[in-house]
Amino acid sequence: MADKELFKVRVQFVERVSKDLIKQLLDDLLEDGVLNEGEKDSVLEENSITRDRARCLIDTVKKKGKIASGKMIAHLERRDANLFSELGLCSGQPEPPAAEEKQEWSATLIPTTEAFWSSKVNDRNIYPVTKNNIRNRVALLITNIKFANERLNRRGAEKDEENMEKLLRALGYEVVKYTNLTGEEIDKALIDFSKHSKLKETDSVFVVIMSHGKLGAVLGVNWKENCSDKDELPINNIYKHLDSEGCPALLNKPKIIIIQACRGEEDGAVLVCDSVKPAVTVKPAVFSDEAPQCRPAASAAEDDVEDDSIRRVHKEKDFISLLSSTPDTVSYRHRDDGSFLIQYVVDVFNNFARNDDVDELFRKVMQRFEEFQDRKQMPTKDRCTVTKHIYLFPEILDSLTPTSVSL
């Protein structure tokens, strides 16, 4: 077994591996998904001596099992054939996973380690987080389950509401929760949330909206087909109420949006073949550049003006959104277990939020759809304007010793 092979050569590997080779192996294992960014950083930043880095690397990979160990051995052979030979390792590709070997998913949130917090808390490439910020976290959760037209009732959505509330609270967010709202009421809930007293001190917010939907809108509970008075919330209103103008308290703070709602009526899967001619007719892409005359030209006088009391800020910034499907396609929900999006979000955040940033967590959610959802649905990251990494540091306040971090 590859993990046992690594264990046999551990001492020799630690003594002989070079600093550059360690960095190359870390990059290879990160690309393979064996390690995440947090684990890679821990190896490099928490160990200043090459031997300590080597020891940390091999122990981390070995603990992940024979598949991960096999990948490291394969990369070692490719990167340094001489060292590979000296260690007496066996050549070959990583072992395929055994049928009974499946990833075990924690049903509860795994906390961040104190070491990871210490390595990231003063990093300028992440959005600032302090212990006081974490204590003031707040999230908005809106779930539409029962509709005026009972045919539209969303069976299983109760489970989504329960699971998301549990996850958000575990991440340290006070949850402002609403159920069964009209489009107008959703809009008012967003406006009220934009004035929440905790927003001045929080480091970030979540806004989770779950309902029926169509392209560009979430449906209210009184929505009726073929009715001129549509009960809808334009998705754009979410950004309008929380942007720099609508909610100054969230200026330069991450706003994490999750929307579970259909964006159309089409199936997200298509059939393809290896023929020279495409099996599916694809409409040509239409490109449109904004006409220069449509943009107001800045005058030379405006360019030269400076003001000590007024400054311009980006109107829509620091948003990252995960929508449950691509444009024009449907989202799927299990009648007992809830929507696939929320199931996968909860799984991924529970297991990886301890080390991964939100953008990477969303990528892992999308990857689960690619692997397990028969390619009918694919979530979409939308309107992403974050400029730094967003780390959530789950349950870090419970694990920090009083003298561990000075903020």
334: left (phi over 0), alpha (psi -120 to 50) or beta: beta
Give Cα 230 to chain centroid, integer Å. 32
Question: What one-character-per-residue DSSP string does 163-216 give?
Answer: HHHHHHHHTTPEEEEEES--HHHHHHHHHHHTT-GGGGT-S-EEEEEES-EETT
DSSP 8-state code for residue 106: P
Q: Which of 56, 212, 241, 247 is catalytic?
A: 212
| Nearest residue to 167 via CA among 363, 343, 319 | 343
Q: Is 125 exposed, middle or buried (0-12, 13-18, 19+ CB in 10 A)?
A: exposed
What is the bridge-based pairing of β-strands 174-179 and 138-143?
Answer: parallel
Helix (H) or strand (E) holding 217: strand 217-219
The verdict on whether 262 is a catalytic residue reads yes
Which tokens sit at 174? 């006070």
Question: What is the distance between the alpha carbons of residues 73 and 66, in angstroms, rounded to a whole number?
Answer: 10
Please name the residues in contact with 281: beta carbons below 8 A apart, sequence gap of 6 or more.
none
Q: Which of 75, 241, 247, 262 is catalytic?
A: 262
Question: What is the distance between the alpha carbons of residues 11 and 165, in angstroms, rounded to a whole number?
Answer: 47
Helix (H) or strand (E) holding 143: strand 138-143
CB < 8 Å & 24+ apart, contacts of 341-345: 341/258, 341/260, 341/365, 341/377, 341/379, 342/159, 342/160, 342/163, 342/164, 342/210, 342/260, 343/163, 344/368, 344/369, 345/164, 345/167, 345/258
Please name the residues in contact with 64: beta carbons below 8 A apart, sequence gap of 6 or more.
34
3-state secondary structure of 10: helix
Annotated catalytic residues are 212, 262
